[in-house]
Amino acid sequence: MEIFSKVAIICEIILIAVLICSPAIAYNNQAVQYFNEGYNYYKLGQYTEAVVSYDNALAIDSNNATVWTGRGSALDSLGRYTEAVASYDKALAINPKYYQAWNNRGIALDSLGRYTEAVASYDKALALVPNSSMVWNNLGTALGGRGWYKESLASYDTALAINPTYASAMTRHLPSTRITPLRNRIENLHLINKPNLPRFCMHLLVQSF
């Protein structure tokens, strides 16, 4: 009888724990629903709606690095780069090893013309995922913006060594088969030896290719 009494007490404790935790479980499920909603809006290109959904999720659970990163991506797509960086910073404060947040932070900083900070973000990402052709490619873009053309080309070469079919952002989504001719064209114009060449010349070169 004593054993059955102890079992009954344990079962009662478990039942009470479940009843106490149930609201929290439902609470988090609602946050997940808002996150999924935000993600779907983002995939549809409805970035403003995505931000609203992510904000709703964060109002429930503000300690989720994935939601902060999704919010940053939506803000980035709206051209709200400074706010995007702030969102990525929130994500990284929660999870410093979230390489996607480091990579996306670099993209937003690059868009702001803050190339040195972008390079630092990509370096953080590469410390976590050294074989990511995407991050090496993005690093190349930031290095080029900084005027470090030799290092930029080395980054593109690393990206292509990892994934020869990777379409470089430098070519603005041109087919990957045109990456090497474009890179050679830049080399032929001696951009490496002209670190003071204005950035718009790089832009015109890509546009005319």
Is residue 10, in this structure, part of any structural domain at all? no
Is residue 115, in this structure, part of any structural domain at all? no
Instruction: Work out how many domains the chain is built from and give that number.
Output: 1
55-71 per-position pLDDT tens digit:
999 999 999 999 999 99
Is residue 190, in this structure, part of any structural domain at all? yes
- Domain range for 171 is 131-209
Cα–Cα dist 78/35, whole Å: 18
Global pTM? Answer: 0.71
Is residue 172, in this structure, part of any structural domain at all? yes
Cα–Cα dist 203/177, whole Å: 19
- Here the tokens at position 172 are 């603005």
165-175 per-position pLDDT tens digit:
765 444 433 34
- Here the tokens at position 19 are 């009843």
Is residue 93, in this structure, part of any structural domain at all? no
Is residue 39, in this structure, part of any structural domain at all? no
Is residue 207, in this structure, part of any structural domain at all? yes
- pLDDT value at 92 more than 60: yes
Average pLDDT for residues 134-143, to the nearest whole number? 92
Is residue 37, in this structure, part of any structural domain at all? no
